[in-house]
Amino acid sequence: MKNILLKRNHIRSFVIIVSLIVLTYYIFVGIWPFIFNLYMSFSKSDLSGNWIFVGLNNYKFLFRDPVFLKALINNFMYLIIMVTIGMVSSLIIAGFIKRTSGLAKKIYIALFFAPVVTSLVAVSMVWKLLYYPEVGIFAKMILSMFPVSPPRFLADPNTALLSIIIMDVWKETGLRVIILHAGMEEIPESIYDSSRIDGASSITQFFKITIPLIRPQIIFLIAIYSINALRVFTQIYMMTTSPPGGPMNSTQVLVVKLYLEAFRSFKAGTGAVISLVIFILLFGLVLMEIKSFQQKWEY
């Protein structure tokens, strides 16, 4: 209550104008397109203006399409692998950085964070060339260090998706590290001191003290990155272009499929169904995350 300004009886221009701006904008970019998208999912159109009602045909067509199912599975794989590798590596790095100090710490943070601010389109391009099979840099590095023939990365259906995930993990590590590190810095040193007297090793401390105490940050990051994993488009489109979706659809994901259906095959209806599928998945994820946030308070 303290934080809310006194009511005034006359109409306040500020409130009306600002709420109208916000409301109008969100009607145009959110509410109306969302409702229209629902309608589209039951119709056939090439986006030129004719809409023919076709009932559930788009849905039937899509759920029988093996490429769509492959995209759905790939999105889940992307989510699980990217979040797992990303969180584990970032936790370790943040734990390491916490044990350094002074200028070295600042430099580490600055360098780990550098890829985060850069353009995803540009780094996807660079990584595509780094991944060049046989004569690319990564292939040669592996060849010089291990006595095995290096993978063909993006050109091999078995490794293509994983290669893209590794690039994604690389790019976003800095952001996770900074958020986790900021959480770790807030843990009072006295907790560590007293556990050290009890004879806890630094590894025990990490698992028993650090991780439980930065649980809010961990959940927050998992939430953000699982949502990102559902929306992934740019890196797939940039790194596996011919055909889009990689060799044998091995990197096909929902948003790429949506783009191909709606803007390459001009089947807006099928594209609209994919949008709805993404929305439902997103909705489920957000609900799950709200739940795990609430659990925090019981903890």
Site for other proteins in 86-115 (CB under 8 A): 93, 96-97, 99-100, 104, 106-115
With binding defined as CB under 8 A, does residue 290 bind other proteins? no
Min. distance of Cβ 58 from other proteins in angstroms?
12
Residue 161 or 214: the one with the smaller Cβ distance to other proteins is 214
Element containing residue 217 per DSSP (H, E): helix 215-230
266 contributes a contact to other proteins by CB under 8 A: no
DSSP state of 12: P
- Residues 229-258 contacting other proteins, CB under 8 A: 231, 233-234, 237-239, 241-242, 255, 258
* 212 is an interface residue for other proteins by CB under 8 A: no
- Cβ-based nearer residue to other proteins, 29 or 248: 29
Q: How many CB atoms lie within 10 A of CB 288?
A: 13
Residue 126 binding other proteins, by CB under 8 A = yes
Burial label for 52, CB within 10 Å (0-12, 13-18, 19+), is exposed
Cα(153)–Cα(130) distance, integer angstroms: 10
Q: Kindly state the DSSP code that residue 159 receives in the 8-state scheme.
A: T
Which of 84, 119, 149, 295 forms a contact with other proteins (CB under 8 A)? Answer: 119
Q: What track of x and - describes contact with other proteins for positions 162 through 181 (by CB under 8 A)?
A: --------x--xxx--xx-x
How far, in Å, are 25, 98, 247, 256 from residue 67 at the CA level? 35, 45, 12, 11
Sign of dihedral through CA atoms 174, 221, 163, 260?
negative
- Selected from 9, 10, 49, 55, the binder of other proteins by CB under 8 A is 49
Nearer Cβ to other proteins, position 10 or 64?
10
In terms of C-beta density within 10 A (0-12 exposed, 13-18 middle, 19 or more buried), how is residue 97 classed?
Answer: buried
